Structure 1
């Protein structure tokens, strides 16, 4: 089977650290598909991996190259910023088998207000905020924690109720054939005010209540993360996965408060698959293929085997990939 992986940050030459995160996802998926017996190609501005065949993507030609190459393969998976992912997924759907979420689902998940409307009253989720005190402000459309801040009167944008709790994520992979939740992952979240790091959400809220603006930044992951609430999280994300019509790999961000609250739905692989792929068997790539093509790659297992624990920061990704055997020429 011929498979194309098109990851926007690497193919478009975006600046680090977003390109590092894209490289992590691309590396994991290409290797997983190759080791599952697929003939794999990938779009790139210049970076080359140990596995797969690189296809040079010139400036401004990502969508055109995606369409052209999809016509030459059996299946493809595209990863891109929220506002671009739905139309790019439609390109894949028009030309070959889409290994990711359907474009309609992607369009819904890209809009945080639409996700809230779909999930409210059905699963615990982050809510719009009209009350007093600080709130979380984040773009209605956005990814990678871009422009996500905690503040009050000096903050503009969509307002969301702040939640006190631990930030985690859980990957879900599936299709109409079945759904599998992956081990809970701790998110390393950094709270930064006037260039200074804060210890936790409580300290961040104290600064916000004084009128300061606190940036909320993703810093990396620890997987697996043991928690007595893990099965509760799994139940919530499975329900949300079905409600939203997801397929393939989806990463859901969750805050563990009095119960698990879904705060973001990423209808695509996320950076956390790097850690998951290291500690879990089968590989993430193999799980995606099993979810979408069980007749060729076997059905999804009931659970994955977990061996050890992995922690990483997004700044460490290039060196980490080299250490893990993802040899490449990074440009």
Structure 2
């Protein structure tokens, strides 16, 4: 089986120098991790595209087409997608990039990603809130910045479509709210209350029919405390007595959305005031940076769960350790239960 894996920011579709450095690091780390894992599976040949400006392609067991321009990448993307048995796309949701690139492989009948409808729904944080509210799934309240009166403080202003905590602001008062509102496009921004709690995520694998196959352990998210909530990686597993509540919430959200396929990341919050009632923050219909930690913690090759053939039937096995992961792919390991060093957590 020949499998095409494409990561937008490294692919040559865009000049690396024009991409947010944080997203480029995350994209590179996810691409290398997934491509390496897939290449280790029996009977799988993996190919990708790689911008020549990023240097030599580092994985000898994975074929990479070196490209120098967006025009070359567009042609190579379609050629590789057409020539492969299946394709998996990694891209940020901003500017509809994930949906657009998945549409190409979906039209070719090669996509291992979620359906286009599922990607469109989950990429739109406002529309997702309204959809899940109607389904009775607890999600952090979300409003459009456009025509919004003064919100309650603290609040969070962030893009309606986006990834990686880009353009995210914790707003403390009316003056700060007016200042932020004046610097952004209100049509493209949302407002959520700032809820004090533990940010975390749960990864999940779905089959190609949209059936939830397995949930991965909760992972802590490490966010900056500078008022921007910048993503700095995380650690897994998150040691919490609320795992069952988190899993129930993810299962409920998954059941309310048709077309989730492959790997999906669910961002969650365990409120300090009501830890037994977690909230869904957003859903990422693609590979997420948490995969870096999960693959280091797992005894099994997680990439096997992504393939369209019959998924593994045995339960996943995990090592008795705690893995800290960074967006650049850096991994640190400690025995389970070890206290975090200062600065490692949120």
TM over 0.5: yes
Aligned with residue 22 of structure 1, among 24, 27, 48: 27
Inter-CA distance 279–134: structure 2 relative to 1 (3 Å threshold): same
- When the two structures are superposed, what TM-score results if normalisation uses the length of structure 1? 0.83
1:249 maps to which residue? Answer: 263
CA contact (8 A) 2:292 2:325 kept: no
Asked if 1:191 corresponds to 2:209, the answer is no
Following superposition, the deviation at residue 299 of structure 1 comes to 3.5
Asked if 1:288 corresponds to 2:313, the answer is no
Asked if 1:42 corresponds to 2:51, the answer is no
1:155 maps to which residue? Answer: 180
CA contact (8 A) 1:109 1:267 kept: yes
CA contact (8 A) 1:25 1:271 kept: yes
CA contact (8 A) 1:66 1:92 kept: no
2:11 maps to which residue? Answer: 11
**What is the rounded CA distance, in whole Å, between the counterparts of 1:68 and 1:30 in structure 2?**
18
Larger deviation: 171-180 or 59-68? 59-68
2:163 maps to which residue? Answer: 143
Following superposition, the deviation at residue 134 of structure 1 comes to 2.7
Asked if 1:226 corresponds to 2:244, the answer is no
Map 1:1-331 onto structure 2 (within 5 A).
1-12=1-12, 13=16, 14=19, 16-37=21-42, 38-46=44-52, 47-50=56-59, 51-61=61-71, 62-82=73-93, 83-121=96-134, 122-128=136-142, 131-151=151-171, 152=173, 153=177, 154-156=179-181, 157-175=189-207, 176=209, 177-192=211-226, 214-245=227-258, 246-257=260-271, 258=274, 259-289=277-307, 292-294=308-310, 298-315=311-328, 317=329
> CA RMSD for the aligned pairs?
2.0
Inter-CA distance 307–30: structure 2 relative to 1 (3 Å threshold): farther
**What is the rounded CA distance, in whole Å, between the counterparts of 2:155 and 2:232 in structure 1?**
21
Inter-CA distance 309–139: structure 2 relative to 1 (3 Å threshold): same
Larger deviation: 115-124 or 264-273? 115-124
CA contact (8 A) 1:28 1:284 kept: no
**What is the rounded CA distance, in whole Å, between the counterparts of 1:150 and 1:15 in structure 2?**
20
2:335 maps to which residue? Answer: none
Q: How many pairs are equivalent?
A: 293
CA contact (8 A) 1:254 1:263 kept: yes
1:210 maps to which residue? Answer: none
CA contact (8 A) 1:168 1:184 kept: yes
Cα displacement string for residues 278-305 of structure 1 (whole angstroms, at most 9, x for unaligned residues): 111322211212xx321xxx43544443
CA contact (8 A) 2:204 2:212 kept: no
CA contact (8 A) 1:108 1:115 kept: yes
- The 3-state SS of whatever aligns with 2:230 is strand
Inter-CA distance 15–233: structure 2 relative to 1 (3 Å threshold): same
Following superposition, the deviation at residue 178 of structure 1 comes to 4.2
Structure 1: gaps of 5 or more residues: 193-213, 322-331
CA contact (8 A) 1:3 1:41 kept: yes
- When the two structures are superposed, what TM-score results if normalisation uses the length of structure 2? 0.79
Cα displacement string for residues 161-199 of structure 1 (whole angstroms, at most 9, x for unaligned residues): 22110000110111235421001101111021xxxxxxx
Following superposition, the deviation at residue 307 of structure 1 comes to 3.9
Following superposition, the deviation at residue 75 of structure 1 comes to 0.3
Following superposition, the deviation at residue 5 of structure 1 comes to 0.4
- The structure with higher relative contact order (CA 8 Å, sep 6+) is 1
Following superposition, the deviation at residue 15 of structure 1 comes to 5.2
**What is the rounded CA distance, in whole Å, between the counterparts of 1:44 and 1:244 in structure 2?**
33
- The 3-state SS of whatever aligns with 2:159 is coil
CA contact (8 A) 2:324 2:331 kept: no
